[in-house]
Amino acid sequence: MCHFEQVRKSRKDLTTVQNDIFYFYGKYSNMSLSNQKHLFDIPEEIIYLNIASQSPSFKSSETAGIKAVKEKTRPYLITTSRYFDPIIQLKKLFAKIVEVEDYNRIACIPSVSYGLSTVANNIQLQEGDEIVLVEEQFPSNYYVWEKLAQQYKAVIKIAKQPDATQGKGKQWNENILNAITDKTAVVAMGNIHWANGTLFDVKAVRKKTLEHNSLLIIDGSQSVGALPFSVKEIQPDALICAGYKWLFGPYGCAYAYFGSYFDNGNPIEENWTNRLDSENLSGLTNYQSKYKPLANRYSVGEHGSFIYVEMQIAALTELLRWKQMDIQNYCEIITSSSVSKLKEAGCFIEDSDFRAKHLFGVEMPISINLVSLKERLAKENIFVSFRGNYIRISCHVFNTEKDIEKLTNCIIAELA
């Protein structure tokens, strides 16, 4: 039996213990992808397994960016519509990726911290209210809540990561659900853990937050684009996503979905293009008190940047050619054999059913010399992230099974 068939068979043999998570993340798949490295300008000698830090650009995105740079040399050819029409196209593309019916619920923002600050700016708490966070969240999704808690004398409540190696993901999900009570005002979390790829059952979290009248704010930066996420199904109150990772946009671009809770909120800046009828440049001093509908009020100033927008449109157009669960399947196939070898060598990797396939952590035995390992990987042109005693592997359809095997061989050599 070939390796591909073995992976497919093992998937069919899964028990139902993790059905909620596996069903939600797995139900969108209907085919597998072949290697797509030809769409990127990555040299053959480079093994890039660090998209969770920064994605490479599609060739088509690079071309679109260069074309837009040249457009700026002739500003007299830039029409009024260029400030608005491409933004609508971009929002529609992102809305399709995350299954949002109305693109007006999408805001174009410069960063996750900007989006989360916008969210926090529109939340009022009572003294003693609790904000539930997952242990060791990314700093941008911690500091903003710490500040909000201090402002209202609320409490930060951390859903702890279990110490156990067996059933860790399952227990962590239970800890998150158990942390949600009648005191919970906000739950803010990623749908996977940014450093080790643990899958969180956001569908179950949403159900419990609704029972306790709590807001659910999702950071999709390390998943959306590579892992299925449906706003229509989960119905978070807000979804914030960095654009320069799994969405292949330039650094400095991000997206935000805002649900009905934020329909009449206050933006953190007053951008003229977000006001009603702003397309009429000749009437801009007829000051307009009304915003454009829904989330448009939250877009950052100059979000119509010609260069960034064209690069993002090209990137999302490419991304939409694939199904996100097919990306998961591809990454599982190229990493499965190496994951088994690393576990046999004494490394800890989360159970397959409770982790993403495009991003996961490999915990090194304490005995390994990380300095020596980093030097070895540098010599082999292998790029990964080190997070404490973890190596974070983040792969995509431009990687191959041989890429992962080469990384694995380096780790095992150091362990020996």
Please, what sign has the CA dihedral across residues 284, 286, 291, 292?
Answer: negative
Is the domain of 284 the same as that of 311? yes
Q: CA 33 to CA 31: how far, in whole Å?
A: 7
pLDDT at residue 11, as a whole number: 42
Q: CA 404 to CA 362: how far, in whole Å?
A: 12
Is the domain of 267 the same as that of 375? no
In the block, tokens 């909000």 appear at: 148
Contacts 24+ apart (CB under 8 A), 15-23: 17/170, 17/353, 18/170, 18/353, 18/354, 20/201, 20/203, 20/204, 21/173, 21/199, 21/200, 21/201, 21/353, 21/354, 22/353
Q: Residue 249's domain is classified under what CATH number?
A: 3.40.640.10
Residue ending a domain, among 297, 319, 341, is 319
Average pLDDT of the residues of the chain: 92
382 occurs within a structural domain = yes
Range of the domain at 411: 3-60+321-415
Is the domain of 263 the same as that of 115? yes
pLDDT in tens, 334-348: 999 999 999 999 999
Is the domain of 84 the same as that of 187? yes
Number of domains in the chain: 2
Burial readout 12-31 (b: 16 or more C-beta within 10 A, e: otherwise) = eeeeeebeebbebbbeebee
pLDDT band with cut points at 50, 70 and 90 for residue 223: very high
- The answer to whether residue 176 scores a pLDDT higher than 50 is yes
351 occurs within a structural domain = yes
Q: CA 415 to CA 101: how far, in whole Å?
A: 51
In the block, tokens 């490999």 appear at: 362
369 occurs within a structural domain = yes
pLDDT in tens, 124-170: 999 999 999 999 999 999 999 999 999 999 999 999 999 877 789 99
Average pLDDT over residues 362-391: 94
pLDDT at residue 13, as a whole number: 40
φ and ψ at residue 295, rounded to 5 degrees: -80, -5
pLDDT at residue 1, as a whole number: 42
- Strand-strand pairing, 155-159 and 130-134: parallel
72 occurs within a structural domain = no
Residue ending a domain, among 319, 346, 371, is 319
- The answer to whether residue 171 scores a pLDDT higher than 70 is yes
Is the domain of 38 the same as that of 151? no
pLDDT at residue 25, as a whole number: 57
**pTM as predicted:** 0.92
Is the domain of 202 the same as that of 299? yes
Q: Residue 352's domain is classified under what CATH number?
A: 3.90.1150.10
Radius of gyration in angstroms for the set of CA atoms belonging to the chain, rounded to a whole number: 22
pLDDT at residue 30, as a whole number: 47
272 occurs within a structural domain = yes
